[in-house]
Amino acid sequence: MVVLMKRSEAVDKHLEICEELLALALEENRILREEKKMPGAKILTRKEELLLRLTASVEALKASEKGTKGGPGLALARERSMQILRLDRENEQLLLRHSLGAPRPVVAQSLAAAAQLYASR
């Protein structure tokens, strides 16, 4: 027997998970920016767990009573979701930078020096 969750309960649960995901994304961002290192396995495991819960929460929202609206809670959940996506994109860019290692120094060379190098060949 499938029990339908009230729409307001489904929205509240979904919003709670969104808040947890946002807090985790902010913590990951802090580590990447301030400590300039890759986040540990604990954060990655927590993120995976929250994403599984988020998927289940979205399914619960879809299955909840269709006749009622989510109200301001659903609008806030959408806003949080957008914040999470933007922050996650920034975190991915920071992860990429950290995975590539330290930037190599670039040696500036004038056009005249480059022309002399080619002229000597």
The reply to whether 119 falls in a domain is no
Q: Is residue 108 part of a domain?
A: no
**Higher pLDDT, residue 79 or 69:** 79
For 95, the domain range is 7-102
Q: Is residue 74 part of a domain?
A: yes
For residue 37, is it left (φ>0), alpha (ψ between -120 and 50) or beta? beta
Cα 46–Cα 97–Cα 100 angle in degrees, nearest 5: 105
Model pTM?
0.74
Confidence of residue 118 (pLDDT cuts 50, 70, 90): low
Within-domain flag for 94: yes
In a domain, residue 53? The reply is: yes
Integer CA distances (angstroms), 10 to 51, 84, 93, 104, in order: 16, 19, 33, 50
Nearest to 33 by CA among 95, 89, 84: 95
**pLDDT, tens digit (0-9, with 9 covering 90-100), for 24-77:** 999 999 999 998 888 889 999 999 999 999 999 999 888 887 766 767 888 899
Domain count, the chain: 1
